[in-house]
Structure 1
Amino acid sequence: MSMTIRLPVVPASFFGMVLGLAGLGGSWRAAHSAWGLASWPGEALMALAAVVWAVLVVFYVGKWIASRAAAQAEIVHPVHCCFIGLVGVATMLVAGGAAPYSHVVALLLYIAGAAFTLVFAVWRTGGLWLGDRTVEQSTPVLYLPTVAGTFVVGAVGAGLGLGDIGQFFFGCGLFGWLAIESVLLHRLLTSPAMASGLRPTLGIQLAPPVVGAVSLIAVAPSAPPLFAHALIGYGILQALVLLRLLPWILEEPLAPSYWAFTFGVTALATAPIRLVALGDKGSVVWLAPILFVFANVAVIAVAGVTVRRAFQGRLLPAATGPILK
């Protein structure tokens, strides 16, 4: 008698859950350092992020084994393909979560995640340079392979003692963000309205300036805070614009796709808290707690929707063919 194990076909975008959970865990770790808040919420969130990451890695590898056609269709899709970059980003964030417990494990995960990020970013960017795309295919997911990935390479690397290397990757993320931002704003300002199913990806628009701020603070903690303040300020502007557009975005019902908001929201909270921990006594002193509360509310709301859909059996696609017999 043989036993068949079936795994669901999980989209790469689900790794956004790891980014949101680990991002909020990082916010709580920063809050513990800056304000002396309890450490256990941050560690629990990091542990949960690691569990979700491990499950998703199994599912994603399983997709390539049992549902190769679906995996190949995703990697050549003009929009969905960019979410694959989250595999490396999520791995590095898990490495950051593991760092206080095992430097060796964290370093191995970081190297694997950074290598995946760099290889995929180069491959995907090269494909984009070939052109042959429609305007509608340009969405904020374009940030994921290069901008999000390289900023996280810098931020997590600095925590592992690789701040010098992290500065080079911070430059990759910074100039990549500025270039892609111009393309996306041109698309948003001059092209037809984005289809409702793609609107939650606008949450990614918040991430570059504030994830960049977290990365900058990590790789250059003794630098004057002027540029970090500027990045946070632009992030707040992006957040306000997104709040103004939220009724329009919510024409697409709440779903796991809204995890796209969470990494940016948590970075928006983490950056000013880390400045407070470094001794910044300016406006971030009152700004940081407001953004911290906002980040917790946002992640809890999206997580609640995700859990509800899981209990309703509407979270994952139907199971695919056999993985093991």
Structure 2
Amino acid sequence: MQAPPLTLPAGAVRQARAQGSIRHLPVNLFASVMGLSGLALAWRLAHGSLGAPALIGEVIGALALGVFVLLALGYGVKAARHPEAVRAEFAHPVSGNFFGTIAISILLLSAVIAPYGAAAARTVWTAGLLLTLGLGLVVVSRLLRGGTDDAHMVPAWIIPGVASLDIPVTGGQMPMAWAGEVNLLAAGVGTVLALVLLTLIVKRLAQHAPLAPLMTPSLMILVAPFAVGFLAYTNLVGEVDRFAALLFYFALFMFVVLAPRVFRRSVPFSPGWWAISFPMAALANAALKYAQSRPTWPLWAIATLLLAGLSVALAVLAVRTVRIALDGRLLAG
């Protein structure tokens, strides 16, 4: 009897190559750095206000930095080997917005590393703001070009606007003479962009078919403009006033509305689930900061619950992401 051939069928070879290709590394994985950085900053706030161990925030911050380096190297390899795939991802009306997660990650990491090196933090923040403002120009240019399909107006469109708001969130204490004006510029751009895009997105969600199941977690992004807006506004004015309170409470309201729609067993896991991480992190940071300004037990309870929920959610996401990375599904075509 003749031995079977040792070569795989052509279809199997193509499938194996697709599963292992860096070409399929999704840019939206940078949302994991946003979430981890936000979690690190939240635990730092909890250390100062609730007496949480300082080590927790610093370890998570180091993890966020390590994940960013790993993803940056991976996406750099993708750009070098498959530049057409990166161009297609950037030009896509939905996935292109997730390039804003790279800019936000850089801005947040500047705050993470600030206690360890002021000069490094200034350099990283400056790089992040230039990238963020550049992406803002691209988004507005695409929007004014016209012809955008309503089906493409999804929550991810808010990311570049929220990115601009993260400039004053992370740069409120930057000592450069020009930083104050840049923070005001970014706050103006981010506020108007977020409001305009939010209006278009809510219109699409109300009048058209629901989002596809894999995009359901991105609904949580609708919390971000208000939670990040709270953090940016309080950094700019230097206090938590009544307008800041309105932003915080509406962010909390949106979270309560959206959580039952997002956290459902019927929603399959994918890297897109990391879209929940930064909005929840921003809300947890806002809740801790608001509770510090109005120290009552209900507000501390809300802040503690949000921090605990965020920590559990990111731990689950990290474990499940590592699992699909190890079995090859993360880079599958």
Q: TM-score under structure 2 normalisation?
A: 0.87
Structure 1, residues 124-178: CA drift from partner, whole Å, max 9, x if none?
2201211112111110111111x22111111111143445542332232222222
Following the alignment from structure 2 to structure 1, what is the Cα–Cα distance between the partners of residues 310 and 243?
22
1:62 to 70, 73, 77: 77
Asked whether the equivalents of residues 214 and 270 of structure 2 are also in contact (C-alpha less than 8 Å), the reply is no
Aligned residue number for residue 6 of structure 2: none
1:43 corresponds to? 58
Judge conservation of contact 1:157–1:165 (CA < 8 Å) in 2: no
Q: Counterpart of 2:248? A: 232
**Does residue 128 of the first structure (1) align with residue 143 of the second (2)?**
yes
Structure 2 runs not aligned, ≥5 long? 1-19
Equivalent pair of 1:15/1:86 in contact (CA under 8 Å): yes
Q: Which amino acid aligns with 1:90?
A: S
* CA displacement at 1:312 relative to structure 2: 2.3
Are residue 241 (structure 1) and residue 257 (structure 2) matched? Answer: yes
User: In the superposition, relative to structure 1, how do residues 272 and 164 fare at CA in structure 2: closer, same or farther (>3 Å)?
Assistant: farther
Q: Quick one: structure 1 residues 72 and 179, their matched pair in 2 at CA, closer, same or farther if it must change by over 3 Å? A: same
Structure 2 residue 222 is the aligned partner of structure 1 residue 205: yes
User: 2:184 — aligned with what?
Assistant: 167
For 1:226, the aligned partner's letter is R
2:301 aligns to what? 286
Counterparts of 1:309 and 1:159, CA distance in 2: 39
Partner of 2:271: 256
Partner residue of 1:321?
none
Deviation track 1:4-54 (CA, whole Å, cap 9, x = no partner) reads xx9723221111010010010111011111122111111111111111111
Specify whether residues 227 and 298 from structure 1 end up closer, same or farther in structure 2 by C-alpha distance, changes over 3 A only.
Answer: farther
Q: Determine which of 90, 93, 98 is the counterpart of 1:75.
A: 90
Question: Is 1:23 aligned with 2:38?
Answer: yes
User: Partner residue of 2:12?
Assistant: none
Tell me, yes or no, if structure 1 residue 215 matches structure 2 residue 232. yes
Structure 1, unpaired ranges of 5+: 1-5, 319-325
- Whether the 8 Å contact between 1:34 and 1:276 is mirrored in structure 2 is no
Amino acid at match of 1:201: S
Counterpart contact for 2:42–2:281, Cα < 8 Å: yes
Give yes or no for contact 1:82–1:142 (8 Å, CA) kept in 2.
yes
Amino acid at match of 2:39: L
**Between 148-157 and 249-258, the greater mean CA deviation after superposition:** 249-258
Of 69-78 and 52-61, the range deviating more from structure 2 = 52-61
TM-score scaled to structure 1, two decimals?
0.89
Deviation per CA, 1:261-290: give whole Å up to 9, x if none. 01011111111212334x422553332212
The answer on whether the counterparts of 1:99 and 1:160 sit within 8 Å (CA) in structure 2 is no
Report if the CA contact (8 A) 1:15-1:87 is conserved: yes
Report the counterpart of residue 152 of structure 1 in structure 2.
166
Larger Rg: 2
Aligned residues: 309
RMSD: 1.9
Cα separation, 2, equivalents of 1:192 and 1:63:
34
* Cα-to-partner distance string for 1:85-111 (whole Å, 9 max, x where unaligned): 111111111111110000111111111
Q: 1:322 aligns to what?
A: none
Equivalences for 1:261-276 in 2 at 5 Å?
Answer: 261-276=276-291
Contact 2:21 2:331 in 1 (8 A): no
Q: Does 1:298 align with 2:313?
A: yes
Task: Give the CA deviation at 1:197.
Answer: 2.7
